[in-house]
Every structure is written in C-alpha cells, then in structure tokens.
A and B are shown apart, each in its own frame.
Chain A
C-alpha cells in the first residue's frame, strides 16, 4: 500500500527534517508514527500527502511513485489534520456537502457521518459555535467522506473527551476492518498502543524502531510480576514484592504471599510504549 525508501527532506532554510527513513505499510494496517514535536513526523506526513514536494528518496503509494501522482491522488487518500480547518460560517452539513462535491467518486451521506461521531443534532449549526472537540470530530469524518483507501490521521483524538476519543478509536478500527489502511501520527502513546498494528518511533528525522506494540512491550519489558499486599491485615501499610514470571506457579514465596495476605494489586511488568520510547531514544515525548 505504501512504501518509503531512504526518504529525506530538507526545508528551504536548510533544516534537515527527515533523514533517510524506510518503512512499508500493508493494506488494512494501522501504522502509528510516533515521536516528539520536531522529530520529523509531521514533515513525513506532509510529504506523503503531497503538501511538501522536492523530497529525496523513493516513495510508492497505492502502487505508483508519489511524484507521478496528480490531484486524483486525493480521490483515494483522506487527510485529517491535527487542527480543525473548516469554514466557520457554514454549518456542519454545509461543510461536508462542500467537500463532498469536490470528489468525483462514491461518497458518504454527510448525515450518516455526522451521526457516526454524535454530531447529528448539530448538523445545522454553524461551525463558529462548535467546541474544539466537535470540530475535531467533524475534521475526522471529513477525511472519510470519499471512502478513501488510505487515511492520514494527525493526532485524531487530541482535544476529545474520553467517550468521544473511544468512539473515534472504534471508527478507526472499523475502517481497518473495512480494508482501509491508516497512517496515524501521534505523540500520545496510549492511543497508538490501543489501536496500532505497528508503530515507528521517529526522532531527529530518523526512525529508531518499528514493530508491533505487543512485541515492543514483550521485548522491552521485564518478565516479572509485582504484587502489592498488606502483610498483617488490611490495616497495615501496603508492601510490594516482585517475582520472576518464569516458574511463577512453583514460586513458594509468591504463593505464600497470595495465600496469607490481602492483595491490593498484582501486575506483570511489561513496558509501556512510552517507557520503550524513552529507553530506546533517550528522549521524552514532550
């Protein structure tokens, strides 16, 4: 679906934002592109959505070199930007209808899309009266209007409350089930962990690691279990103990803790994506 080989991009001022990155995305995959601000993820996305021209390297999208595509590229590609960009004097329906009319292929009914993200009751409300969260939801569904094969989503859950954030994640998963491919840039590792099939870490214009979140957690986590318990009843202060995961069922000390003490929490010690990012890059995501 998408193949990037030795992609580099240098801005006119001389800033080298992307330095020879390689990755591929398969059809029906959710690929997370993770990194802190200024790492090069936005520049990569701008190259892939043809906003930035004049890159070095070889990029193939939907079976065709990127620089051979014309504006028909956007008939098959949907883009949702990090910040909402709608016509504030038009209603939600009018905004979607306007953009819908610009596509020549089959499109969704705007009413269905608005219902999908819980905006059906605000369909005839001017965008200037929308909250940022509402505008973000509209931003998201606008990218789905023309049923694209490939979706570029930039921080799709930013500014959303947990309920709507969850709704968006479910729609993204549903798009994958419908056979669509999703390129998602994020600095929120939790979102990436929950919905991405694979993630790439980018820092200083270079990809440092690519794998599935599960593999990364397993590779970089400790095979241990951590138990919090009260040794002499619930009134006593909680104590912690860690045990190796291997042979846990035969570990007498672990079994003794379980049998004789009230347990507060018990967790395996796999790493979070954020831990792995910090460990592999030496940088935080802020």
Chain B
C-alpha cells in the first residue's frame, strides 16, 4: 500500500468523476429531491409561523397586535368552521377562535376567559413554540398581568394525529440512505467497471501501483463522497444535530459499507449494463428501510431485515433523538459485522480480479 499513489489515484477519480454525467446525477439527485420536498411541503421558504384567527366580535385591538406582529403571518377568518378547515389543511399551523367580548373580559380581569386554539398536527415544533410565546405575550399585554396570573383558560383541540411527522421528517431516512448508499456505492462501482472496460485498470497495475492501491483509492473516494452527501442531507433537513463524534462515526461506517459494497459490485459486474441491472434488482432492498419509515404504522422490526437499516437507524437516533453510544451500540455492532463480512468477500474478489484482468487484457 502506497499512500502517495492512493492520493494520486483519488485525484484522478475526482477529475474523471467531475465530468461524468451519471456521477453528478447520483450526487445531486438526493439534494434536489430534498430541496423539492422541503419546497412542496412548506419547510423551505416558509419559515414564518402561520396563525389564523376567528374573532366572533370585539377583539379587534387584540387581533390587530397579532396582525402587526413582524414574526408571524396572521390571517383573519370569517367563521370558526373556516378557521378549523384552514388548520386542518395545514394552511395555518395554529388557529385561534375568540368568543364575542373576548377583549373586554380579558381587560376586566375579573372573569375567566375561554377561547379555543386549533393546532395543525404536522406543524413543526419550532413554529408552534414561536406561536405559543407570541400569543402568551400578547395575552399578557392585553390583560396587563404577569404570567403567573394569566386570566385565560385555553381549550386546545389537536387536529390530526399527534404523532404525525412532516413529510420532510418522513423522507429523511430515505434521503439519508440514498445519499450514503448512492454516493458511497456508485462512484467506486462505476469507476471500476469503466477502468476494466477501457483496460486502464490493467495499465495501472503494470506500473508500481498495486491492485490494492487502486481498490483502496476507489473505496476511500466512495467513503468521502458518501460522508459529504450524508452531512449535506442532514444539514438541509436541519437534522445535523446530536453528538457530533457519534454522528460522524455512523456516517463513516455507513459510507464504508456502501463503498466496499460498490467495489465488490464493480468487480463482479461484467459491464455497466450488468451493474445497472443489479442496482435495479437490489436497489429496493437497499432503500427498503427508508421507504418503510415513510409509513410510521409499519412495524419497526421489518426494517431490521435490511442491512441499510443499521446505518439509517443510528443516524436518526443520534441526530433526531439525541441518542448516545449505548443506545446505538447494537446497531453499530451489526453494521460493523456487515462491513467485516463485505471485506472478507472483497479480499476474495481482489484475488480473482488479478486473474480476470490478465484474461481481459
């Protein structure tokens, strides 16, 4: 193994990969889909919390404060039913239905004030917190009292399943798998097949470069690309959180699994058509854990059947639930076992590749 030659070969991979349409497509596609989903389902360019208000009468001074508020988008509705409908559709993240005489009752401070709040089940926590604090402040100002003496009783009606995830959250596991598996697998496999088809691999191995150096350069390239892709997807989904070292460890292991798998596929595929056929056939199995996550009602154990679950789940646990090493230890251990098995297969494949190269040259 020669580090300098591996570095040179990686530079060549970057140079050639940058001009390869399929490589660019594979790397850019998960990012584009993520951005599209964020755009379509409202997470992108719609960061301002949305509040709908129905005022049964006399609450203008209160609602005006909210309409003038620079940090929330407030819309007035003509009926409670229209407000409820808007929240149900997700047009508004929260709706406030004010009874007649609301502001007078609030200002008098002598009687209990009841009003209803509708909350969209898919609304993000961040926006709900912003809305709640804004409403609280406005109510306090209106009542002229401190927080501990708030003369308000709120009846909150949850609309939709409380556990409902946003589409971005549901699709994040799939995007992560796409980014890590495609980024890690595609580059080594496609590059290896092309090198064999164009016979440049045999040209390289008749220099002081060993076949191991070539394989290592491709594996590292896949590992780095999948890591970059995973970080981009997590950042785009505002999920690059949790313990950084753990997150990077899981990304690295997932990338290693994908790139080693890619190198194996690149070695055993006769040509690009065969590789594409294999990808089409096994692709669904690779993405299955991500697809299953779109449907929260599907039992978790089904995902565990698929190897990519063990890179997806710890990533989600660390980034979304703040899990520590102990919580993800089992998944990481399974991931390590899968990688070890793939490395054993790879060493056998490299041994056979030398003979195959001689036959093909």
Contact = CB atoms under 8 A, between A and B. Distances in A.
Contacts of A88: 198
B209 A71 contact: yes
A90 B15 contact: yes
A195 to B, nearest CB: 22
Interface string B340-361: 0000000000000011011101
Determine the interface band of chain A, counting residues with CB < 8 A from chain B: 20 to 34
B19 interface: yes
B204 interface: yes
Most chain-A CB neighbours within 10 Å: which of B8, B12, B208, B358?
A: B208
A270 B198 CA distance: 43
Contacts of B209: 71, 102
B355 A52 contact: yes
A129 interface: no
A81 interface: yes
Contact of B208 (A11, A46, A90, A104): A104
B207 interface: yes
Contacts of A200: none
A74 B200 contact: no
A89 interface: yes
Contacts, number: 66
B206 interface: yes
A58 interface: no
A67 interface: no
Interface in A1-55: 11-12, 46, 49-53
Interface residues of B, number: 24
Given A51-B361, A81-B203, A102-B8, A89 B208 contact: no
Given A72-B208, A74-B208, A98 B203 contact: no
A77 B210 CA distance: 15
A83 interface: yes
Contacts of A235: none
Most chain-B CB neighbours within 10 Å: which of A49, A71, A73, A77?
A: A71
A49 B198 contact: no
A87 B16 CA distance: 9
A87 B252 CA distance: 30
Given A46-B358, A87-B200, A103 B208 contact: yes
Interface in A52-109: 52-53, 71-75, 77, 79, 81, 83, 85-90, 98-99, 101-104
Given A51-B202, A75-B208, A102-B5, A89 B355 contact: no
Contacts of B203: 81, 85-86, 99, 142
B210 A71 contact: yes
Given A85-B200, A89-B16, A49 B208 contact: no
Interface in B200-222: 200, 202-210
A73 B15 CA distance: 28
B198 A81 contact: no
Interface of A: 11-12, 46, 49-53, 71-75, 77, 79, 81, 83, 85-90, 98-99, 101-104, 142
10 contacts: A11-B359, A50-B206, A51-B357, A73-B208, A77-B206, A79-B206, A87-B12, A87-B200, A101-B8, A104-B208
